Amino acid sequence: MTAAAALRLNRLHPSPCEEVEAAAAYAYPEPDGRYLRVNMVSSVDGCAVLDGRVGALTGPADQRLLVLLRSLADVLLVGAATVRAEGYGPVRTRPELRELRAANGQLPAARLAVVSRTIDVDLGSRAFTDAVERPLVVTTELAGRDRVREARRVADVLVAGERTVDLGVATDRLLEAGMPRMLSEGGPHLLADLYASDLVDELCLAISPLVTCGEGSRITAGPVLPTLRPQRLQTVLERDEFLFLRYVRC
């Protein structure tokens, strides 16, 4: 990895230092079963979406980190509503990480796995038609046969559940398919479901230096958990007034 291409961040916690390489700071643990990381962004006052999208909350450093985290993962698990709202394109790998992926036995790019009960997603979008690696659709038995047949033209279809997607089954299947390093970008409903299923190992939360007011959604959208999920603060990094927090399960 060249110094010119590497994303460098200031480390505030633990052991403050001027700069660290983001690729090293966010390296996945050695594979020992699945490891599910979630990457989300929020304003200082807790807003996760503006006008249905996160775009207004992000910045250059946050966008570079997003691409980096995708470049480290085997699979990118995203809800269909987020894919539609954000206009997802094909998942790419940062050039400086291609050799690292090859050394780890990974495919050239992470596979996109879209979660949708009825395959309510544009199968003609660039996320499918221009994909570097064949995408997946994670769905349920509610999806009609014709829709499943259509999806299989551009993606592998994984049926996990009758009326709702069983995320435990889905992530087990992804692990069995050789994708232990998992990343999700939500949206809020999927993240709430992942926490409800106790599947999240690490939350990467970017705090945007903006105050929005209003009644924007949080990074999770779902019922209060019957058992709260305590988190441990792993690292705090900074660049361009953004804070990048990493929380891991206790």
pLDDT tens-place string over residues 19-35: 999 999 999 998 789 99
Residue 10: inside a domain: no
Residue 17: inside a domain: no
Write down the pLDDT at residue 156. 97
pLDDT tens-place string over residues 77-94: 999 999 998 899 999 898
Domain that holds residue 222: 31-249
pTM of the complete model: 0.93
Tell which wins on pLDDT, 163 or 100: 163
List the 8-13 sheet strands across, edge first.
Answer: 17-21, 8-13, 231-239, 242-249, 202-208, 35-43, 181-184, 75-79, 111-115, 136-139, 156-159
Domain count, the chain: 1
Residue 8: inside a domain: no
Write down the pLDDT at residue 30. 86
Residue 13: inside a domain: no
- Looking up residue 177, the CATH number of its domain turns out to be 3.40.430.10
pLDDT tens-place string over residues 129-154: 999 999 999 999 999 999 999 999 99
Q: How far apart are CA 88 and CA 102, in angstroms?
A: 25
Residue 5: inside a domain: no
Structure tokens at 147: 């829709």
Structure tokens at 92: 């790419």
Residue 62: inside a domain: yes
Residue 186 has pLDDT above 90, yes or no: no
Residue 11: inside a domain: no
Residue 1 has pLDDT above 90, yes or no: no
Residue 224: inside a domain: yes
